[in-house]
Amino acid sequence: MALLADGVSRLLIDGKLTSGGAGRFATINPATEEVLGEAANADAADMDRAIAAARRAFDETDWSTNTELRVRCVRQLRDAMLEHVEELRELTIADVGAPRMLTAGAQLEGPINDLSFAADTAENYEWTQDLGLASPMGIPTRRSVVREAVGVVGAITPWNFPHQINLAKLGPALAAGNTVVLKPAPDTPWVAAVLSELIAQNTDIPPGVVNIVTSTDHALGAMLAKDPRVDLVSFTGSTATGRSVMADAAATIKKVFLELGGKSAFLVLDDADLSAACSVAGFSVCLHAGQGCAITTRLVVPRARYDEAVAIAAATMGSIKPGDPSKPGTICGPVISARQRDRVQGYLDLAIAEGGTFACGGGRPADQPAGFFIEPTVIAGLTNDARVAREEIFGPVLTVIPHDGDDDAVRIANDSPYGLSGTVYGADAERAAGVAARLRAGTVNVNGGVWYSADMPFGGYKQSGNGREMGVAGFEEYLETKAIATAAN
């Protein structure tokens, strides 16, 4: 079976592959600006049918209680994706603009393999905990704590790492016993919609358990947040949209967890290898054109070595040329759309207006006449008060900021509305760990440690969101807790 063989993706609603009530919309290759094909464009009636199907599947089938079935189905999805991994790789590069090198990790193969963690967790989870016999208020009582599925999950996902985020929601939500309505970003509809084919044709997932609704209408995401038939909303995206999701969900007091924006800091202590640290910082900002919420986009360096740090970062980033993501050596591909390219350029123009300078980059690469490319850019000469140092740009842009010692570096890092990620580099490991412990961020690496893993929880502090994705903590976001007390006399 070839995936999307006719160049058109479909919705998955109540176990059936179907067209969208609003027709179709084009999906664009961001590296070439060419039309790849079309995606089903759902309307409000389609979303209503999807929610109804998910509600019915949760309430009227044994999906939520049949752990053996759920584990088997999640593994079937994993196996189907692995069987088609080379097709998925080419589709991901074209639909997302993801560099080929990243599809061996978080852009494809990593998330597929992470489905094993969700299945294994469900298979081995202690669903019922026996608290034994006690006599509260003098009444002999046997007590237990039961964990069970929340219900219908509305999952709303972005375009930057779509496989990773779609599967980090679908895997644990399904393994925990929930039914799901997935509303992916319209910028990368094929990456999500291909799951519709794989689920419908390669798994025993019952009708209605998974519904995938692609649409250009962002109001359909709001429907998920507002609808009383939906018990939980899991959203990944911008902080501004996250606020709207939380507000929409408030009317029904449904559970919401959010993975939002970031403006993370890369702290270089005065005993660090400056060349190594600043090179790593520059390289990481170029990966996937900087389109990652946890990328460290503020490089905070000792003031006495500021000019040297800027030069090192600029040398690294200036040597990384944006290019064809299908080529094996490409690090920095395009941003996702013309709108996003214009948004990044607007921030670059703002940097100059705020008094900054470019140590490299600053605009569109002259050798890329087509595609949504932006040059890797180092901004110097600004403080942490500048908007380009405080607002999420989501492009290959690094702002270098001076610090006056460890306390000042921590102050700068924490002086942000966000708290998603952070990095600390220092020769004295104990000292670096002490600085890391003071960062108000959900994920921190010290001297290049890697926190991205299926068994590690991911999420942020402050306006970077609430709740956690991945790890056992991420699995448990999709569970309710029930206390049962039975009289023992």
Residue the block writes with tokens 């998974």: 210
- Can you list the alpha helix ranges (DSSP code H) found in 227-334? 239-250, 274-286, 306-318
Instruction: Tell me the three-class secondary structure of 114-148, residue by residue.
Output: HHHHHHHHHHHCCCEEEEEEECHHHCCEEEEEEEE
Task: Give DSSP secondary structure letters for 352-386.
Answer: HHTT-EEEE--S--TT-SSS-----EEEES--TTS
- The burial of 126, by beta-carbon neighbours within 10 Å (0-12 exposed, 13-18 middle, 19 or more buried), is given as exposed
Q: Is 430 a catalytic residue?
A: no
Considering 259, 392, 476, 477, which one is annotated as catalytic?
Answer: 259
User: Which of 24, 392, 412 is closest to 190 using CA atoms?
Assistant: 24
Written as six digits, the tokens of 154 are 């509305």
The secondary element (H helix, E strand) that includes residue 256 is: strand 255-259
- Return d(Cα 422, Cα 291) in angstroms, integer: 16
> What is the phi/psi pair of residue 172, to 5°?
-65, -40
| SS3 at position 271 | coil
Please check whether residue 332 is in contact with residue 316, taking contact to mean a CB–CB distance below 8 angstroms: no
Single out the residue of 400, 229, 423 nearest to residue 314, CA to CA: 400
Sign of CA dihedral 100, 299, 452, 442: negative
Nearby residues of 83 by Cβ (< 8 Å), 6 or more positions away: 202
State phi, psi for 24 to the nearest 5 degrees.
Answer: -135, 160
Q: Which of 154, 177, 166 is nearest to 57 (CA)?
A: 177
Token digits for 163? 């496989």
Q: Catalytic residue positions?
A: 259
